[in-house]
Amino acid sequence: MKQSILDPGMCKREISLQKLEDLIHIIRDEYLDSRKKNKPFCSYHEAYAVLKEEVDELWETIKFKELGDESRKTTIFSEAKQVAAMALGIMYEFGDGEE
């Protein structure tokens, strides 16, 4: 069953809840893969530095317009996935899971 909600801030685009669920799984898998390669964050400072590095890489990709459209989209998606995974890591490793 496909459900969607309207996001008033995004030019009246509908948001697919299934697509969000799929993206959450992709981000979770990216986080778990990162933890297989690297130890958990030791401090807020380290977590911020890693997140900032990923954001900087995303920004460089967004600014770099020489890539073809499909290649650029793929690279931006990959960098955004890494940003989201590191943000998830900060929430998971330092948060208690409550807002």
Helix (H) or strand (E) holding 14: strand 14-16
Residue 18: CB atoms within 10 Å? 12
- Tens digits of residue pLDDT in 12-71: 678 899 999 999 999 999 999 999 999 999 999 999 999 999 999 999 988 877 666 778
Domains and CATH numbers, the chain: 4-94 (1.10.287)
Whether the full predicted model's pTM is greater than 0.95, yes or no, is no
Tokens of 8: 């008033």
Evaluate the CA torsion angle 82, 55, 75, 5 in order and state its sign.
positive
